Amino acid sequence: KLLPKVVDWREKGVIPAVKSQGSCGACWAISVVDTISSISAIKKAQSNATDLCIEQVINCAGNGNYGCEGGDTCRLLEWMRKSNVKLNTLKDCETTQQLKNGTECAFQNATVGDYMAVEKFSCVSLVDREHLMLRYLATRGPIVAAVNAASWQYYLGGVVQYHCDGSYEDLNHAVEIVGYNLEGTIPYYLVKNSWGPRFGDHGYIKIEIGKNLCGIANRVSFIELM
């Protein structure tokens, strides 16, 4: 089946606003939680995404995740599934729970209203199989990817085509892929970063498809919700 030439889930309104992680190394949490928000909106046929309580994850995730000191998208998803974590909406998180001393996990599972929980997920290498990423983006929704973002601080726009090493050992960041474009001479992924809206193209970066640039296909997660 032929894939559409352009997929951009932002046009459907299901992509939450770009976050700014600042000095907190929480890309592992932001990318996963925002992707869950997107998948939920698509599943419920909503025309806009609901921001979820990222702090709930940053402060509480076990399984070898360390809050602002760093974490891992796959270990986070594993923790969420095994612990049956129910994510609060941002609204509920702000009104019902305050952090104790900034270090302790003060969050409880959401028990009321519109919460989201992970049913299953994948964490796979799709190097040399990037067409599977495109197919998922076209038919299901956004995906989470680990990347090497060492050179991204110099990104000013356009499509990244070179000088972005794809080795597994150099993965150091996590992002939400929200679409792709196959129309031009250089096909690219549309990648949502968490360095605020002033980064790149309103918070986004374009990465060429098919070369595992920046390691984008090394560690890909598809998420299904309950």
Structure tokens at 151: 């050179």
53 is catalytic: no
Is 1 inside any structural domain? no
| Residue tagged active-site, from 59, 65, 88, 193 | 193
Is 168 inside any structural domain? yes
Is 92 inside any structural domain? yes
Question: What residue numbers bound the domain in which 27 lies?
Answer: 6-225
74 is catalytic: no
Distance of CA 140 to the CA centre of its chain: 14
Query: What CATH number corresponds to the domain at position 142?
Result: 3.90.70.10
Percentage of residues in the chain having pLDDT higher than 90: 62
193 is catalytic: yes
Is 163 inside any structural domain? yes
| Residue tagged active-site, from 27, 60, 74, 164 | 27
The b-or-e profile of 98-107 (16+ CB within 10 A means b, else e) is eeeeeeebeb
Residue 97 has pLDDT above 50, yes or no: no
Q: Give me the number of domains the chain comprises.
A: 1
Is 166 inside any structural domain? yes
- Rounded to an integer, the average pLDDT of 160-184 is 96
| Residue tagged active-site, from 59, 60, 93, 173 | 173
pLDDT at position 57, please? Answer: 82
Res. 102 pLDDT band, cuts 50 70 90: very low
pTM of the model: 0.91
The b-or-e profile of 58-92 (16+ CB within 10 A means b, else e) is bbbbeeebebeeebbbbbbbbbbbeeebbbbbbeb
* 165/158 Cα distance (integer angstroms): 18
